[in-house]
A and B are shown apart, each in its own frame.
Chain A
Amino acid sequence: MTTMQTPNGFNLDTSGQRVVVDPVTRIEGHMRCEVNVDENNIIRNAVSTGTMWRGLEVILKGRDPRDAWAFTQRICGVCTGTHALTSVRAVEDALGIDIPENANSIRNIMQLSLQVHDHLVHFYHLHALDWVNPVNALKADPKATSELQQSVSPHHPKSSPGYFRDVQNRLKKFVESGQLGPFKNGYWTNPAYLLPPEADLMAVTHYLEALDFQKEIMTTRTIFGGKDIHPNWLVGGVPCAINIDGPLAAGAPVNMDRLNYVSGVIDRTLEFVKNVYIPDLFAIAQFYKGWLYGGGLSGQSVLAYGDIPDRANDYSAGNLLMPRGAIINGNLKEVHEVDHRDPEQIQEFVPHSWYAYPDEAKGLHPWDGITEPNYALGPNLVGTSTNIQQIDESAKYSWIKAPRWRGHAMEVGPLARYVVGYAQGHEYFTEQINRTLKTLDVPVDALFSTLGRTAARALECEWAAEMQRYFMDKLIANIKAGDTATANVEKFDPKTWPSEVKGVGFTEAPRGALAHWIRIKDTKIDNYQCVVPTTWNGSPRDNEGNIGAFEASLMNTKMERPEEPVEILRTLHSFDPCLACSTHVMGPDGEEMAEIKVR
Chain B
Amino acid sequence: MTETFYEVMRRQGITRRSFLKFCSLTAASLGLGPTFAPQIAHAMETKPRIPVLWLHGLECTCCSESFIRSAHPLAKDVILSMISLDYDDTIMAAAGHQAEAIIDETIEKYDGNYILACEGNPPLNQEGMSCIIAGKPYLEQLKHAADHCKAIISWGSCASWGCVQAARPNPTQATPIHKVPGLAPKPIIKVPGCPPIAEVMTAVITYILTFERFPELDRQGRPKMFYSQRIHDKCYRRPHFDAGQFVEAFDDEGARKGYCLYKMGCKGPTTYNACSTVRWNGGLSFPIQSGHPCFGCSEDGFWDKGSFYDRLTDIHGFGIEADADKIGGTAAAVVGVAAAAHAGLSAVKRARQKGGES
Residue among B94, B168, B237, B249 with most chain A CB within 10 A: B94
In the bound complex, CA of A229 to CA of B124 (Å)? 28
In the bound complex, CA of A129 to CA of B250 (Å)? 46
In the bound complex, CA of A28 to CA of B247 (Å)? 38
Closest residue on chain B to residue A242 by CB atoms: B256
A180 CB contacts on chain B under 8 angstroms: 86
Interface size, chain B (Cβ < 8 Å):
101
Task: State the 10 A-B residue pairs at the shortest beta-carbon distance, nearest first.
Answer: A77-B62, A251-B258, A226-B290, A186-B93, A226-B287, A232-B292, A55-B171, A51-B132, A239-B292, A253-B291
B132 CB contacts on chain A under 8 angstroms: 22, 30, 32, 51-52, 388
Extra pairs beyond A55-B171, A229-B62 (20, CB < 8 Å)? A22-B134, A25-B92, A26-B91, A26-B92, A173-B11, A179-B86, A182-B88, A183-B93, A185-B92, A185-B99, A211-B75, A212-B76, A218-B281, A227-B197, A232-B291, A237-B250, A389-B135, A484-B256, A492-B250, A593-B126
Query: Which of B61, B65, B137, B307 touches A66 (beta carbons < 8 Å)?
Result: B307
B65 & A229 in contact (Cβ 8 Å cutoff)? yes
A565 CB contacts on chain B under 8 angstroms: 95-96
> Which residues 236-263 of B sit at the A interface, judged by CB distance below 8 A?
236-237, 249-252, 255-258
Least CB distance from B162 to A in Å reads 11
B92 & A182 in contact (Cβ 8 Å cutoff)? yes
B70 CB contacts on chain A under 8 angstroms: 215
A211 CB contacts on chain B under 8 angstroms: 68, 74-76
Say whether A291 faces chain B, with CB atoms less than 8 Å apart.
Answer: no
Least CB distance from B336 to A in Å reads 9
Closest residue on chain A to residue B239 by CB atoms: A251
A contacts with B: majority SS: loop
A243 CB contacts on chain B under 8 angstroms: 256-258
Say whether A386 faces chain B, with CB atoms less than 8 Å apart.
Answer: yes
Say whether B13 faces chain A, with CB atoms less than 8 Å apart.
Answer: yes
Say whether B191 faces chain A, with CB atoms less than 8 Å apart.
Answer: no
B95 & A21 in contact (Cβ 8 Å cutoff)? yes
Interchain residue pairs with CB less than 8 A apart (5): A23-B134, A55-B172, A80-B60, A169-B13, A226-B288
What size tier do the contact residues of chain A reach? 35 or more
Say whether B303 faces chain A, with CB atoms less than 8 Å apart.
Answer: yes
B163 & A74 in contact (Cβ 8 Å cutoff)? yes
Q: List residues of B whose CB falls within 8 A of some A CB.
A: 3, 8, 11-13, 49, 51, 56, 58-66, 68-71, 74-76, 79-80, 84-86, 88-96, 98-102, 125-138, 163-165, 167-172, 174, 194-195, 197-198, 236-237, 249-252, 255-258, 275, 280-282, 284-292, 295, 297, 303, 307-309, 358
Closest residue on chain A to residue B87 by CB atoms: A184
A247 & B86 in contact (Cβ 8 Å cutoff)? no
A185/B3 contact (C-beta < 8 A), A63-B358, A67-B307, A170-B11 known: no
B257 & A386 in contact (Cβ 8 Å cutoff)? no
Say whether A277 faces chain B, with CB atoms less than 8 Å apart.
Answer: no
In the bound complex, CA of A564 to CA of B95 (Å)? 9
A225 & B290 in contact (Cβ 8 Å cutoff)? yes
In the bound complex, CA of A181 to CA of B308 (Å)? 40
**Chain A, 47-61, contact with B by CB distance < 8 Å: what is the 0/1 string?**
000011111101100
> Which residues 210-269 of A sit at the B interface, judged by CB distance below 8 A?
211-212, 214-215, 218-219, 222-232, 234, 236-243, 246-249, 251-253, 261
Least CB distance from A549 to B in Å reads 19
In the bound complex, CA of A184 to CA of B102 (Å)? 8
B58 & A241 in contact (Cβ 8 Å cutoff)? no
Closest residue on chain B to residue A583 by CB atoms: B130
Query: Which of B76, B95, B255 touches A23 (beta carbons < 8 Å)?
Result: B95
A22/B135 contact (C-beta < 8 A), A214-B68, A229-B66 known: yes
